Structure 1
């Protein structure tokens, strides 16, 4: 009996307000679990959220790693008196204007001591990620507000949060986690042209080399042709490289699922309101 073909994997570098200058970038590829590789097949760029959503809807099956938060901290949700069910909470959040959200979040932070202004999810420490309620630097609260409802609208399955009978599987990813494992705290990208330095270009080159060698705990090698490698190396914003890293994280999750893990490698017993970032350990390395 031949094995069923694995679905494609994708990685998404997200923007809450995309444009031609700063599009949403999706890396599309294929996992070979036996060979331990993810082959990059191409990049897609979207100057609007509607175009991005339409692309995801048109693909019948995928396992995707998306660089945007999928949930808010339980502590914040509880204090605001919002629904403790994830789907109901996200519907409530999506229905609110950003100005109203900003006012509520700012009041929450203002009432807390310095050094502990933001509430965190349990996954933030191990992943080293920003709190999902941050509305500036980076504005991940707006990424959640803009991106998650569209993923829900394409009928995606959300392991650990909301299980659906769907061939489209959405996982929260974070490229910075794998990048730090490979090149430490060195910066490899910037949207500011003044900060797009040779040092950052060198860091991107080293990161790309390590990804191709599979020199990381995910154990997957990135396969890419010369043109694709040049695209990732030349993109000083890091968007194409980040999309490829998210694709690798999605590939790892699919490999876990193919090996019999029902939650695509997410730890058992995670908070069903907060979710978990795929490939993040249970404690900070």
Structure 2
């Protein structure tokens, strides 16, 4: 009976430790203030239960007498009530976490092309500004995009944007691709200017060589690109200005080309 009591309390202590880790994980995920306060309280209670169980486990292990079974049953029934309350709040917490994840995805996701949007791009650029590693931005712009809308309609214009998003993402695996406005796309990569220019040229060639098939008719598309690397201490606005200038230079030079920023 003595060994049974020690095992019972040791098992209860292990469950309390596990519950504490679980509640702390949930506490970090939930955003609703009331749920966060609830899980903070549960974490505090779990830590207190751990301390009590640790004391009882040590006491039982070194005490020849066996604790009263009624007392043990009371503790188990109390633990059952606590876990019943936890399960009632668990569903609300999971729904809250899912809702936050969905909202975050929508906030940083372009619904048309299913890639990152301008908000996600700005966040990535802010990281590049403070990073100690090389960071380079590539700006793409569809050549003569207005002609697709005027000649085929806006539905086909949307298909052109989706087509480019897929091609750039497939040609630059491992890098995040963003639609930053209209027919303009971007990649922010932790690589140097020369490597980024090569990557931009691969994407440009892929766009040129793989037409969009519409009504069994190939629609040929080209894009121009400007590439700029963060200089030490350079701000986001400054590197974006240089990338824009390189992109406009590619347009003026005849389009369907990549130009590195000075």
Query: The TM-score by the shorter chain falls in which range?
Result: under 0.3
Larger helix proportion of the pair: 2
Which structure has the larger Rg?
2
Q: Which has the higher contact order (CA 8 A, sep 6+)?
A: 1
